[in-house]
Amino acid sequence: MLVKFAPTNILTELKENKKNCLVIVGKEPIQICTIKDDINQFCQKNSIDKILIKVESGIDLNQLDHTFNNQSLFSSQIIYEFEVSDGIIKKEIKESILKKIGEHKDSCFIFYFKKDFKEFKKQNWYEILKHLSQIIIAEEPNTEQITQAIKDRAHFRQVKLTDEAKKLLTNYSMGNLMQAENDIKKLKLIYDKQEVDEPMLLSLITNGSKYDGFNFIEHCINGDMKKTNEAARYLREEGVQPLMINGLFAWFFKAVSRIKLSSNQSININVLMKLRIFGTSQNLASQTIRSLTTKQVVACLNKIQEIDQIGKGIKMGDPWLEINRFSMGIAKMMNRGINLKNG
Protein backbone atom coordinates (compact mmCIF):
# COMPACT_ATOMS: atom_id res chain seq x y z
CA MET A 1 0.00 0.00 0.00
CA LEU A 2 1.34 3.39 -1.02
CA VAL A 3 0.46 6.93 0.01
CA LYS A 4 1.51 9.13 -2.90
CA PHE A 5 0.60 12.81 -2.93
CA ALA A 6 2.20 13.39 -6.35
CA PRO A 7 2.37 9.99 -8.09
CA THR A 8 4.21 9.72 -11.42
CA ASN A 9 5.15 6.88 -13.82
CA ILE A 10 2.53 4.72 -12.13
CA LEU A 11 2.04 2.09 -14.82
CA THR A 12 5.76 1.83 -15.55
CA GLU A 13 6.34 1.12 -11.85
CA LEU A 14 3.45 -1.37 -11.91
CA LYS A 15 5.11 -3.34 -14.72
CA GLU A 16 8.47 -3.26 -12.96
CA ASN A 17 6.76 -4.89 -9.98
CA LYS A 18 5.40 -7.56 -12.37
CA LYS A 19 1.76 -6.69 -11.70
CA ASN A 20 -1.04 -5.73 -14.06
CA CYS A 21 -3.58 -4.57 -11.50
CA LEU A 22 -3.76 -1.17 -9.77
CA VAL A 23 -6.23 -0.20 -7.01
CA ILE A 24 -6.85 3.42 -6.05
CA VAL A 25 -8.75 3.82 -2.78
CA GLY A 26 -10.05 7.21 -1.67
CA LYS A 27 -11.60 10.33 -3.15
CA GLU A 28 -9.11 13.13 -2.54
CA PRO A 29 -9.45 15.07 -5.85
CA ILE A 30 -5.87 16.33 -6.27
CA GLN A 31 -4.32 12.86 -6.03
CA ILE A 32 -7.04 11.23 -8.16
CA CYS A 33 -6.59 13.87 -10.87
CA THR A 34 -2.80 13.43 -10.86
CA ILE A 35 -3.15 9.64 -11.12
CA LYS A 36 -5.57 9.88 -14.05
CA ASP A 37 -3.38 12.43 -15.86
CA ASP A 38 -0.34 10.20 -15.43
CA ILE A 39 -2.24 7.19 -16.80
CA ASN A 40 -3.55 9.20 -19.77
CA GLN A 41 -0.04 10.39 -20.62
CA PHE A 42 1.20 6.78 -20.51
CA CYS A 43 -1.60 5.70 -22.88
CA GLN A 44 -0.89 8.51 -25.33
CA LYS A 45 2.85 7.94 -25.29
CA ASN A 46 2.48 4.20 -25.89
CA SER A 47 -0.63 4.35 -28.15
CA ILE A 48 -2.66 2.18 -25.77
CA ASP A 49 -6.48 2.11 -25.75
CA LYS A 50 -8.26 2.87 -22.47
CA ILE A 51 -11.70 1.40 -21.70
CA LEU A 52 -13.92 2.65 -18.86
CA ILE A 53 -16.23 0.10 -17.20
CA LYS A 54 -18.69 1.17 -14.50
CA VAL A 55 -19.19 -1.70 -12.07
CA GLU A 56 -22.62 -1.11 -10.55
CA SER A 57 -25.09 -3.38 -8.79
CA GLY A 58 -27.14 -3.78 -11.97
CA ILE A 59 -24.26 -4.76 -14.27
CA ASP A 60 -24.92 -7.89 -16.32
CA LEU A 61 -22.36 -10.66 -16.85
CA ASN A 62 -23.12 -10.85 -20.59
CA GLN A 63 -22.63 -7.10 -20.86
CA LEU A 64 -19.26 -7.36 -19.11
CA ASP A 65 -18.10 -10.26 -21.32
CA HIS A 66 -19.25 -8.38 -24.42
CA THR A 67 -17.10 -5.39 -23.46
CA PHE A 68 -13.99 -7.52 -23.04
CA ASN A 69 -14.52 -9.63 -26.19
CA ASN A 70 -15.21 -6.68 -28.49
CA GLN A 71 -12.55 -4.31 -27.26
CA SER A 72 -9.79 -6.93 -27.17
CA LEU A 73 -9.99 -7.20 -30.98
CA PHE A 74 -8.30 -3.82 -31.41
CA SER A 75 -5.17 -4.34 -29.34
CA SER A 76 -3.52 -6.98 -27.19
CA GLN A 77 -2.66 -4.31 -24.62
CA ILE A 78 -5.52 -2.30 -23.14
CA ILE A 79 -6.03 -0.24 -20.00
CA TYR A 80 -9.28 -1.26 -18.31
CA GLU A 81 -10.54 1.32 -15.80
CA PHE A 82 -13.21 0.13 -13.37
CA GLU A 83 -15.25 2.65 -11.39
CA VAL A 84 -16.72 0.51 -8.63
CA SER A 85 -19.96 1.68 -7.00
CA ASP A 86 -20.92 1.24 -3.33
CA GLY A 87 -23.75 -1.18 -4.16
CA ILE A 88 -23.63 -4.96 -3.81
CA ILE A 89 -21.83 -6.47 -6.81
CA LYS A 90 -22.72 -10.04 -7.79
CA LYS A 91 -20.19 -12.74 -7.01
CA GLU A 92 -20.17 -13.89 -10.65
CA ILE A 93 -19.14 -10.39 -11.79
CA LYS A 94 -16.18 -10.34 -9.40
CA GLU A 95 -15.15 -13.83 -10.46
CA SER A 96 -15.33 -12.85 -14.13
CA ILE A 97 -13.15 -9.79 -13.60
CA LEU A 98 -10.66 -11.85 -11.61
CA LYS A 99 -10.50 -14.36 -14.46
CA LYS A 100 -9.90 -11.59 -17.01
CA ILE A 101 -6.99 -10.22 -14.94
CA GLY A 102 -5.32 -13.63 -15.20
CA GLU A 103 -6.07 -14.05 -18.90
CA HIS A 104 -5.00 -10.58 -20.10
CA LYS A 105 -1.46 -10.40 -18.72
CA ASP A 106 -0.40 -7.65 -21.18
CA SER A 107 -3.27 -5.35 -20.20
CA CYS A 108 -3.65 -3.24 -17.07
CA PHE A 109 -6.67 -3.31 -14.78
CA ILE A 110 -7.25 -0.15 -12.75
CA PHE A 111 -9.91 -0.01 -10.02
CA TYR A 112 -11.25 3.16 -8.37
CA PHE A 113 -12.96 2.78 -4.98
CA LYS A 114 -14.30 6.10 -3.64
CA LYS A 115 -14.16 5.26 0.05
CA ASP A 116 -11.82 5.30 3.04
CA PHE A 117 -9.19 2.58 3.11
CA LYS A 118 -10.47 1.31 6.48
CA GLU A 119 -13.88 0.76 4.91
CA PHE A 120 -12.36 -0.81 1.79
CA LYS A 121 -10.43 -3.36 3.88
CA LYS A 122 -13.71 -4.70 5.24
CA GLN A 123 -14.97 -5.51 1.75
CA ASN A 124 -14.59 -8.71 -0.24
CA TRP A 125 -12.94 -6.67 -3.00
CA TYR A 126 -9.89 -6.18 -0.78
CA GLU A 127 -9.40 -9.92 -0.26
CA ILE A 128 -9.82 -10.55 -3.99
CA LEU A 129 -7.39 -7.88 -5.20
CA LYS A 130 -4.78 -7.36 -2.46
CA HIS A 131 -2.30 -10.00 -3.67
CA LEU A 132 -2.71 -9.13 -7.35
CA SER A 133 -2.48 -5.39 -7.06
CA GLN A 134 -0.48 -2.37 -6.15
CA ILE A 135 -2.71 -0.23 -3.92
CA ILE A 136 -2.52 3.57 -3.80
CA ILE A 137 -4.35 5.36 -0.98
CA ALA A 138 -5.72 8.71 -2.15
CA GLU A 139 -7.05 10.30 1.04
CA GLU A 140 -6.79 13.78 2.53
CA PRO A 141 -3.45 14.00 4.37
CA ASN A 142 -3.61 13.94 8.16
CA THR A 143 -1.71 16.33 10.43
CA GLU A 144 1.40 14.14 10.31
CA GLN A 145 1.31 13.95 6.48
CA ILE A 146 0.36 17.47 5.38
CA THR A 147 3.91 18.86 5.43
CA GLN A 148 5.20 16.04 3.24
CA ALA A 149 2.15 16.37 0.99
CA ILE A 150 2.88 20.05 0.38
CA LYS A 151 6.55 19.29 -0.30
CA ASP A 152 5.54 16.61 -2.82
CA ARG A 153 3.04 18.87 -4.59
CA ALA A 154 5.51 21.77 -4.73
CA HIS A 155 8.18 19.46 -6.18
CA PHE A 156 5.65 18.07 -8.67
CA ARG A 157 4.77 21.62 -9.83
CA GLN A 158 8.48 22.60 -9.80
CA VAL A 159 7.94 25.33 -7.22
CA LYS A 160 10.83 26.13 -4.87
CA LEU A 161 9.83 27.08 -1.32
CA THR A 162 12.01 28.10 1.61
CA ASP A 163 11.47 26.16 4.85
CA GLU A 164 9.60 29.12 6.36
CA ALA A 165 7.36 29.38 3.30
CA LYS A 166 6.57 25.66 3.58
CA LYS A 167 5.60 26.15 7.23
CA LEU A 168 3.37 29.11 6.36
CA LEU A 169 1.67 27.23 3.52
CA THR A 170 1.14 24.25 5.83
CA ASN A 171 -0.38 26.59 8.39
CA TYR A 172 -2.60 28.36 5.88
CA SER A 173 -3.82 25.23 4.08
CA MET A 174 -5.36 23.85 7.31
CA GLY A 175 -4.53 20.33 6.14
CA ASN A 176 -6.59 20.89 2.98
CA LEU A 177 -4.56 19.65 0.00
CA MET A 178 -6.89 21.38 -2.47
CA GLN A 179 -6.20 24.76 -0.85
CA ALA A 180 -2.44 24.15 -0.86
CA GLU A 181 -2.49 22.96 -4.48
CA ASN A 182 -4.29 26.11 -5.66
CA ASP A 183 -1.71 28.31 -3.93
CA ILE A 184 1.19 26.28 -5.36
CA LYS A 185 -0.22 26.70 -8.88
CA LYS A 186 -0.50 30.48 -8.35
CA LEU A 187 3.09 30.61 -7.07
CA LYS A 188 4.27 28.79 -10.19
CA LEU A 189 2.52 31.29 -12.45
CA ILE A 190 3.81 34.33 -10.57
CA TYR A 191 7.35 33.33 -9.60
CA ASP A 192 8.09 30.38 -11.94
CA LYS A 193 11.66 29.20 -11.12
CA GLN A 194 12.32 31.81 -8.41
CA GLU A 195 12.57 30.52 -4.84
CA VAL A 196 9.54 31.66 -2.83
CA ASP A 197 10.13 32.92 0.72
CA GLU A 198 7.67 33.73 3.49
CA PRO A 199 7.01 37.42 2.55
CA MET A 200 6.39 36.46 -1.10
CA LEU A 201 3.91 33.76 -0.06
CA LEU A 202 2.22 36.06 2.44
CA SER A 203 1.76 38.64 -0.30
CA LEU A 204 -0.01 36.04 -2.41
CA ILE A 205 -2.22 34.83 0.44
CA THR A 206 -3.34 38.28 1.56
CA ASN A 207 -3.34 39.75 -1.97
CA GLY A 208 -2.79 43.15 -0.39
CA SER A 209 -6.00 42.77 1.59
CA LYS A 210 -6.78 44.81 4.68
CA TYR A 211 -7.74 41.61 6.49
CA ASP A 212 -7.08 37.89 5.97
CA GLY A 213 -8.05 34.73 7.80
CA PHE A 214 -5.02 34.81 10.08
CA ASN A 215 -5.44 38.34 11.42
CA PHE A 216 -9.19 37.68 11.69
CA ILE A 217 -8.37 34.92 14.20
CA GLU A 218 -5.77 37.18 15.80
CA HIS A 219 -8.37 39.91 16.47
CA CYS A 220 -10.75 37.29 17.94
CA ILE A 221 -8.15 35.89 20.32
CA ASN A 222 -6.94 39.35 21.32
CA GLY A 223 -10.53 40.21 22.27
CA ASP A 224 -10.72 43.14 19.83
CA MET A 225 -14.45 43.08 19.06
CA LYS A 226 -14.39 46.12 16.76
CA LYS A 227 -11.68 44.73 14.48
CA THR A 228 -13.19 41.24 14.63
CA ASN A 229 -16.49 42.61 13.33
CA GLU A 230 -14.73 44.72 10.67
CA ALA A 231 -12.67 41.74 9.50
CA ALA A 232 -15.71 39.48 9.21
CA ARG A 233 -17.59 42.10 7.19
CA TYR A 234 -14.58 42.82 4.96
CA LEU A 235 -13.85 39.14 4.20
CA ARG A 236 -17.50 38.51 3.35
CA GLU A 237 -17.62 41.54 1.02
CA GLU A 238 -14.40 40.39 -0.67
CA GLY A 239 -16.05 37.08 -1.53
CA VAL A 240 -13.86 34.90 0.68
CA GLN A 241 -15.36 31.42 1.04
CA PRO A 242 -16.84 30.91 4.53
CA LEU A 243 -15.67 27.29 4.55
CA MET A 244 -12.07 28.47 4.17
CA ILE A 245 -12.38 30.82 7.16
CA ASN A 246 -14.18 28.14 9.17
CA GLY A 247 -11.40 25.74 8.21
CA LEU A 248 -8.86 28.10 9.75
CA PHE A 249 -10.86 28.16 12.98
CA ALA A 250 -11.03 24.34 12.84
CA TRP A 251 -7.26 24.03 12.40
CA PHE A 252 -6.64 26.45 15.30
CA PHE A 253 -9.15 25.07 17.81
CA LYS A 254 -8.36 21.42 17.06
CA ALA A 255 -4.77 22.13 18.05
CA VAL A 256 -5.91 24.03 21.15
CA SER A 257 -8.22 21.15 22.13
CA ARG A 258 -5.46 18.55 21.76
CA ILE A 259 -3.56 20.30 24.55
CA LYS A 260 -6.55 21.47 26.58
CA LEU A 261 -8.13 18.00 26.69
CA SER A 262 -4.89 16.14 27.41
CA SER A 263 -3.76 15.10 30.88
CA ASN A 264 -0.55 17.07 30.34
CA GLN A 265 -1.44 20.66 29.45
CA SER A 266 2.13 21.92 29.20
CA ILE A 267 2.60 24.40 26.35
CA ASN A 268 5.90 24.65 24.51
CA ILE A 269 7.13 25.33 20.98
CA ASN A 270 7.78 21.66 20.18
CA VAL A 271 4.26 20.60 21.15
CA LEU A 272 2.71 23.43 19.11
CA MET A 273 4.88 22.66 16.08
CA LYS A 274 3.77 19.01 16.14
CA LEU A 275 0.21 20.32 16.00
CA ARG A 276 1.14 22.43 12.92
CA ILE A 277 1.00 25.74 14.81
CA PHE A 278 3.78 28.10 13.74
CA GLY A 279 4.97 31.69 14.20
CA THR A 280 2.66 34.21 15.88
CA SER A 281 -0.12 31.59 15.92
CA GLN A 282 1.80 29.87 18.75
CA ASN A 283 1.31 32.88 21.04
CA LEU A 284 -2.39 33.01 20.13
CA ALA A 285 -2.80 29.30 20.86
CA SER A 286 -1.04 29.63 24.23
CA GLN A 287 -3.24 32.59 25.11
CA THR A 288 -6.40 30.65 24.18
CA ILE A 289 -5.41 27.56 26.17
CA ARG A 290 -4.84 29.70 29.28
CA SER A 291 -7.99 31.82 28.88
CA LEU A 292 -10.73 29.38 27.86
CA THR A 293 -12.11 26.52 29.90
CA THR A 294 -12.27 22.96 28.55
CA LYS A 295 -16.05 23.31 28.23
CA GLN A 296 -15.66 26.49 26.17
CA VAL A 297 -13.11 24.87 23.83
CA VAL A 298 -15.41 21.88 23.24
CA ALA A 299 -18.30 24.30 22.54
CA CYS A 300 -16.10 26.07 19.96
CA LEU A 301 -15.36 22.78 18.18
CA ASN A 302 -19.06 21.90 18.11
CA LYS A 303 -19.92 25.30 16.64
CA ILE A 304 -17.19 24.95 14.00
CA GLN A 305 -18.63 21.57 13.01
CA GLU A 306 -22.11 23.08 12.76
CA ILE A 307 -20.85 25.92 10.52
CA ASP A 308 -19.08 23.35 8.33
CA GLN A 309 -22.35 21.47 7.85
CA ILE A 310 -24.19 24.71 7.01
CA GLY A 311 -21.48 25.69 4.52
CA LYS A 312 -21.79 22.29 2.81
CA GLY A 313 -25.57 22.47 2.65
CA ILE A 314 -26.12 19.65 5.13
CA LYS A 315 -27.86 22.03 7.55
CA MET A 316 -29.92 25.13 6.87
CA GLY A 317 -28.46 28.55 7.64
CA ASP A 318 -26.15 31.37 6.59
CA PRO A 319 -22.50 30.32 7.17
CA TRP A 320 -21.20 33.89 7.24
CA LEU A 321 -23.83 34.95 9.77
CA GLU A 322 -22.80 32.03 11.99
CA ILE A 323 -19.08 32.79 11.56
CA ASN A 324 -19.75 36.40 12.58
CA ARG A 325 -21.66 35.28 15.67
CA PHE A 326 -19.02 32.70 16.53
CA SER A 327 -16.06 35.07 16.10
CA MET A 328 -17.74 37.83 18.13
CA GLY A 329 -18.52 35.29 20.85
CA ILE A 330 -14.86 34.30 21.06
CA ALA A 331 -13.77 37.95 21.07
CA LYS A 332 -16.15 38.70 23.95
CA MET A 333 -14.90 35.73 26.00
CA MET A 334 -11.26 36.65 25.40
CA ASN A 335 -11.93 40.34 26.08
CA ARG A 336 -13.60 39.45 29.36
CA GLY A 337 -10.60 37.33 30.36
CA ILE A 338 -8.15 40.09 29.45
CA ASN A 339 -10.13 42.68 31.43
CA LEU A 340 -10.26 40.39 34.49
CA LYS A 341 -6.48 39.99 34.40
CA ASN A 342 -5.90 43.72 33.96
CA GLY A 343 -8.56 44.60 36.57
Q: Quick: pLDDT tens for 114-168.
A: 999 999 999 999 999 999 999 999 988 887 788 899 999 999 999 999 988 888 8
Q: How many CB atoms lie within 10 A of CB 246?
A: 25
Positions in the chain whose pLDDT score sits under 50: 72-74
Domain ranges of the chain: 2-137, 146-206, 213-342
CATH fit for domain 213-342, picks 3.40.50.1100, 1.10.10.10, 3.40.720.10, 1.20.272.10? 1.20.272.10
Beta bridge partner(s), residue 78? 49
pLDDT at 61: 86
pTM: 0.64
Report the alpha-carbon distance of residue 112 to residue 102 in Å, rounded. Answer: 19
CATH class of 2-137: alpha beta
Q: DSSP labels for 80-105?
A: EEEEE-SSPPPHHHHHHHHHHHHH-T
Helices and strands counted in the chain (H then E): 17, 6
- Beta strands 133-137 and 108-113 are unpaired
User: How many Cα atoms are found within 13 Å in the side-chain-facing hemisphere of 247?
Assistant: 18
146-206 shares its CATH topology with 213-342: no
Residue (of 181, 171, 117) closest to 149 by Cα position? 181
pLDDT at 210: 63
Report the alpha-carbon distance of residue 287 to residue 24 in Å, rounded. Answer: 43
Strands, E assignment, the chain? 2-3, 21-25, 49-55, 78-84, 108-113, 133-137
Cβ 252 vs Cβ 284: under 8 Å: yes
Give, in order, the Cα–Cα distances in Å from 251 to each of 13, 128, 139, 200, 214. Answer: 36, 38, 18, 23, 11
Report the alpha-carbon distance of residue 200 to residue 22 in Å, rounded. Answer: 40
Is 146-206 a domain of CATH 3.30.497.10? no
Residue 161 DSSP symbol: B
Q: Quick: pLDDT tens for 92-110.
A: 999 999 998 988 888 999 9
